[in-house]
Chain A
């Protein structure tokens, strides 16, 4: 069962990919969807067996690399964290598969698309079920590769190509950090197994790692490098720019990448490495601050995006920030809980957005939509559910995880805890604001699209509706039903999967924080939603006046252009590296220094000098006799005065004389 779960998506991917032309688009769709459905059922069984009964499974398949101290096996471990991730990944992925069969039905490359989707699921399963860092890295790179293939699915579009390359490159920056982290783990622990590494981490507290004569705290530097990996994958502030651009892929891809799989890998890594991070308070602080900044930044940027999918993409970025700072505050269960809930409602939002886009003839600009409430009522209701879950409307899914995150942030009673509480609460307000703005501009406002488009808008066919309907159920209820199981006080759900140092544990403190601070995020998000609704309904003129005022224009530009992150990266970092690559490393080093001190320079120098020397042979006899005289005099003289030179002059000085004699002859002639 356990290996079937992992291999089934792979088999379906291979079949759909290599034999797609034989089984046809319909066959590929049926095959991949049915395989994924079986996988979902299997992962529910696994969840029952592993997480609920509490019986972790460890399968050591076969040795992969076995070289002296270095030993990597193909091993799969299923503990609560893996089981819960498996459920989320396969559940959302299967619905995305089902959804894609309809959404992509007119695409000529449907088998390829389904194959990539299944491959993505497979690599994500490898990532979450691995029992060592190397195998985890296989999945890690695999999802990066699949994100490249999927974002680039419509390979004829230049924007899609660029977005895919950007996603790959920015991910690779993070992956580099991750690789370095794994290498340091191996160098110091002599092992890459989770079990070994996490078991002996407490022994390494205070240990130093020396690199280039600089001392680093061992666990801190490992944690930092692993966090760099997580930053790349989970689109935290700094390496987040690929995520909004990845919207160039088809919408189901965005749902898969941004809801359930790829971006959650970073949070998963932090949660998986919790026994390591618990021993490095510095890194926990860094993670908290980075996550809080991401949450706030993405929420502000989401406010003024006009692209339907980009708004949702930035909300993903923002919610990932929440998860990461929850992990940074040592509340890994809370972070993972939010990850699970977020997967459901964000998949719902993305697939709903896809349904809208499908309805309005592939128009993604929210300003050209409006008035779709009556035309696509089902999608509207699904989007409302998703948005309310996202803003943490009381008693929907998002409420249970987001509010707990903010509670534990305040209940930490540290500077960075309060910092993240503040930014998180503001982020909640902004999230509500832009979610309502999205709903208003798309569904509630007056129609702004073309008449021909609006007239033909309708709800999509049954596959899309089924996927949305199924996703809407966990978006409403999963938070309430699984809250006590996953983050309840004293739950033994997690077993040994997550580790929290007793002195970092603050769930109980968080229960007893001031009532004001518990209720504040909810009030903020509700008021954000209300304010947005009122402003867009009655205050459009006011908004317009503000937007066209001097300061308003500045703010609008600043937020619409994503805090100029892309601009700065392109103009300073990107341009710098391009210039460096051409001017320095190509023109100066490759074509310059290496050539001059290498083949070209050497050969020209030799031929020039030898030409000069051969020019000495003028052909006149008296020149020859003169050189004979000179040379014989020199030889005899050296021989005669050898004793004198030997004692008082270093003979190596003649090397200089010899070399200068080569330059004495002028080049002019």
Chain B
């Protein structure tokens, strides 16, 4: 097995995660991008788990990854469902227009 330097992979993970975060923060228009960013962050976390699971030679990381995958799938399903319901009500999914919790 080719031993890749773990720092290289960890850098990629952090980069992925940061891209997800920046996608959350900087995106002001499209709510789908928000959901995609969340998925990206979850993926980065998963990758992190896997890398450390292999690095530490421990199965628990893999189990967690499986759980997180499931949770991510359900979460994106519920999120998209909320979106469709919301779209039915407001006829828009533009982020600028979603401003209802302001007192």
Question: Quick check: A629 and B95 within 8 Å, CB to CB?
Answer: no
Min C-beta distance of B77 to chain A, whole Å: 20
User: How far is B24's CA from A625's CA once the two chains are assembled, in angstroms?
Assistant: 7
User: How far is B24's CA from A73's CA once the two chains are assembled, in angstroms?
Assistant: 88
- Contact among B27, B28, B34, B101 for A619, CB-based, below 8 A: B101
Is B25 in contact with chain A by the CB < 8 A criterion? yes
Min C-beta distance of B83 to chain A, whole Å: 13
Question: Quick check: A619 and B24 within 8 Å, CB to CB?
Answer: no
Question: Quick check: B25 and A619 within 8 Å, CB to CB?
Answer: no
Main secondary structure of the interface of A (DSSP, over half): helix
Contacts of B34 in A (CB 8 A): 621
Contacts of B89 in A (CB 8 A): none
Question: Quick check: B102 and A617 within 8 Å, CB to CB?
Answer: yes
Map CB proximity to A onto B91-103 as digits: 1 under 8 Å, 0 otherwise.
Answer: 0000110111111
Nearest chain-B residue to A626 (Cβ)?
B25
Is A622 in contact with chain B by the CB < 8 A criterion? yes
Contacts of B99 in A (CB 8 A): 618-620
Is A491 in contact with chain B by the CB < 8 A criterion? no
Please judge, given known A-B contacts A629-B21, A629-B25, whether A622 and B100 are in contact too, CB under 8 Å.
no
Is A614 in contact with chain B by the CB < 8 A criterion? yes
- Contact among B21, B98, B103 for A621, CB-based, below 8 A: B98
Min C-beta distance of B70 to chain A, whole Å: 24
Map CB proximity to A onto B23-39 as digits: 1 under 8 Å, 0 otherwise.
Answer: 01111100000100000
User: How far is B49's CA from A624's CA once the two chains are assembled, in angstroms?
Assistant: 27
Please judge, given known A-B contacts A625-B24, A626-B25, A629-B25, whether A618 and B103 are in contact too, CB under 8 Å.
no
Question: Quick check: B25 and A625 within 8 Å, CB to CB?
Answer: yes
Contacts of B98 in A (CB 8 A): 620-621
Question: Quick check: A622 and B25 within 8 Å, CB to CB?
Answer: yes
Contacts of A621 in B (CB 8 A): 34, 95, 98
Map CB proximity to A onto B71-103 as digits: 1 under 8 Å, 0 otherwise.
Answer: 000000000000000000000000110111111
Contacts of B27 in A (CB 8 A): 622
Nearest chain-B residue to A627 (Cβ)?
B25
Contacts of A626 in B (CB 8 A): 25
Contacts of A614 in B (CB 8 A): 103
Contacts of B26 in A (CB 8 A): 622
Among B21, B25, B34, B101: residue with most chain A CB under 10 A: B25
Contacts of B21 in A (CB 8 A): 629
Contacts of B95 in A (CB 8 A): 620-622
User: How far is B25's CA from A629's CA once the two chains are assembled, in angstroms?
Assistant: 8
Contacts of A619 in B (CB 8 A): 99-102
Nearest chain-B residue to A618 (Cβ)?
B102
User: How far is B26's CA from A622's CA once the two chains are assembled, in angstroms?
Assistant: 7
Min C-beta distance of A389 to chain B, whole Å: 91
Nearest chain-A residue to B96 (Cβ)?
A620
User: How far is B28's CA from A622's CA once the two chains are assembled, in angstroms?
Assistant: 7
Contacts of B96 in A (CB 8 A): 620
Contacts of B101 in A (CB 8 A): 617, 619
User: How far is B23's CA from A629's CA once the two chains are assembled, in angstroms?
Assistant: 12
User: How far is B21's CA from A621's CA once the two chains are assembled, in angstroms?
Assistant: 13
User: How far is B35's CA from A625's CA once the two chains are assembled, in angstroms?
Assistant: 13
Min C-beta distance of A51 to chain B, whole Å: 91
Nearest chain-A residue to B99 (Cβ)?
A619
User: How far is B103's CA from A261's CA once the two chains are assembled, in angstroms?
Assistant: 78
User: How far is B103's CA from A621's CA once the two chains are assembled, in angstroms?
Assistant: 14
User: How far is B24's CA from A618's CA once the two chains are assembled, in angstroms?
Assistant: 16
Nearest chain-B residue to A625 (Cβ)?
B24
User: How far is B24's CA from A626's CA once the two chains are assembled, in angstroms?
Assistant: 8
Min C-beta distance of B4 to chain A, whole Å: 26
Map CB proximity to B onto A604-633 as digits: 1 under 8 Å, 0 otherwise.
Answer: 000000000010011111100110010000
User: How far is B85's CA from A467's CA once the two chains are assembled, in angstroms?
Assistant: 111
Among B100, B101, B103: residue with most chain A CB under 10 A: B101
Contacts of A618 in B (CB 8 A): 99, 102
Question: Which residues of B in the span 2-49 have a Cβ within 8 Å of any Cβ on A?
Answer: 21, 24-28, 34
User: How far is B96's CA from A108's CA once the two chains are assembled, in angstroms?
Assistant: 88
Contacts of B24 in A (CB 8 A): 622, 625, 629
Contacts of A617 in B (CB 8 A): 101-103
Contacts of B25 in A (CB 8 A): 622, 625-626, 629
Question: Which residues of A in the span 390-405 have a Cβ within 8 Å of any Cβ on B?
Answer: none
Contacts of B103 in A (CB 8 A): 614, 617
User: How far is B27's CA from A620's CA once the two chains are assembled, in angstroms?
Assistant: 11
Min C-beta distance of A333 to chain B, whole Å: 89
Map CB proximity to B onto A253-290 as digits: 1 under 8 Å, 0 otherwise.
Answer: 00000000000000000000000000000000000000
User: How far is B99's CA from A618's CA once the two chains are assembled, in angstroms?
Assistant: 8
Map CB proximity to B onto A175-204 as digits: 1 under 8 Å, 0 otherwise.
Answer: 000000000000000000000000000000
Which B residues are closer than 8 A to A by beta carbons? 21, 24-28, 34, 95-96, 98-103
14 A-B contacts (beta carbon < 8 Å): A617-B101, A617-B102, A617-B103, A619-B99, A619-B100, A620-B28, A620-B95, A621-B95, A621-B98, A622-B24, A622-B26, A622-B95, A625-B25, A629-B25
- A617-B102, A622-B28, A626-B25 given; 13 more Cβ-contact pairs under 8 Å: A614-B103, A618-B99, A619-B100, A619-B102, A620-B98, A620-B99, A621-B34, A621-B98, A622-B24, A622-B95, A625-B25, A629-B21, A629-B25
Question: Which 3 residue pairs of A and B lie closest in terms of their CB atoms, listed nearest first?
Answer: A619-B102, A619-B99, A625-B24
